[in-house]
Amino acid sequence: MPELPEVETIRRDLAASLYGRRVTGVRVYHDDLILGGTSRRTFQRSVRGREIGRLQRRAKHLLFSLHPPGDLGSEPERIMRVQLRMTGQFALGVRRPDGKAFRHPGIDLALDDGRTLFYDDVRRLGGFDLFTPEGWARQSARLGPEPLAAGFTAGTLERLLAHVRAPLKNALLDQRRLAGIGNIYASEALHRAGIDPRRPGGSLSRVETQRLQRAIRAVLRAALEKSGTTVRDYRTVNGGSGSFQHELRVYGREGGRCRRCGAAVSRIVQAGRSSFFCGSCQR
């Protein structure tokens, strides 16, 4: 599933191109891509004719602000949330790309400049839903802090992990505790910090918490610089790949050598997810 760096990369790719564009047509190929109990007809009617404002990201969610046209000024703003999940991808252009990655049409948004925003999703695990600004604010309040925000300090992380008995890796994946981190960057941050993923979340010393906070921010920023990590399905807009996979230290490298100490990288399963770590230098 795309994590914070991947979703933020897509947001940046789309933001300047879509700002101020009006949606002139909506085509939904599969009803199950419309989430939250909204019907296909209601979704199409609610999106068609609206102007795209700011694109934002919250955790792993991509958020489109949709403003009513001038002659419908009494209608409220809508927030269109997109969850990419495992295989959701975007393309933007006058025609659908011909590549293998874009042969599973999901939703098309025609724009007033002649281009179309294409959404493909081979496994149809992602989708779109609509909120009022107030409704989305309530949803957002259920998520943890953003790890790249200025307010995410070592003290913040210490409070989030205090008294947590669950393994640290599991705690980092809990979106209610910390927003946007998934399997890849949790493993990588813990390796950078030299901390075993199996330790209880509340067992960290203040120094270890400081190391982990710095490691989380460092690995997310490094991944953003490389447009994210393409291991299998993730693509940037129009089918490009991220390149941070070439810099992964432990994730997906079971049996390989730790880039810090040379010991073998191990893999275990925690809460149904693979965790990769070095048993020699992660304590």
Count other Cβ atoms within 10 Å, centred on residue 162.
11
Q: How far apart are the C-alpha atoms of 139 and 175, rounded to whole Å?
A: 12
Those residues whose C-beta lies under 8 Å from the C-beta of residue 138, and which sit 6 or more positions away, are none
Q: What order do you get walking across the sheet with 88-93 strand by strand?
A: 23-28, 105-111, 116-121, 88-93
State the burial class of residue 228 (Cβ atoms within 10 Å of its Cβ: 0-12, 13-18, 19+). Answer: buried
Q: How far apart are the C-alpha atoms of 107 and 47, rounded to whole Å?
A: 12
Q: Which 3 state secondary structure label does DSSP give 34?
A: strand
Active site residue 167: no
Q: How far apart are the C-alpha atoms of 172 and 194, rounded to whole Å?
A: 15
Looking at the DSSP bridge assignments, the partners of residue 65 are: 79
Instruction: Write b or e for each residue in 114-128: b if 16 or more Cβ atoms lie within 10 A of its Cβ, otherwise e.
Output: ebbbbbbbbebebbb
Query: Which position among 2, 5, 167, 197 bears the catalytic label?
Result: 2
Q: How far apart are the C-alpha atoms of 75 and 88, rounded to whole Å?
A: 30
Active site residue 100: no
Query: Which position among 57, 60, 211, 253 bears the catalytic label?
Result: 60
Sign of CA dihedral 166, 168, 173, 176: positive
Any idea of the CA torsion for 213, 214, 216, 222, to the nearest 10 degrees? 170
Query: Which position among 3, 6, 188, 208 bears the catalytic label?
Result: 3
Query: Which position among 124, 199, 226, 273 bears the catalytic label?
Result: 273
Active site residue 60: yes
The residues that are catalytic are 2-3, 60, 273
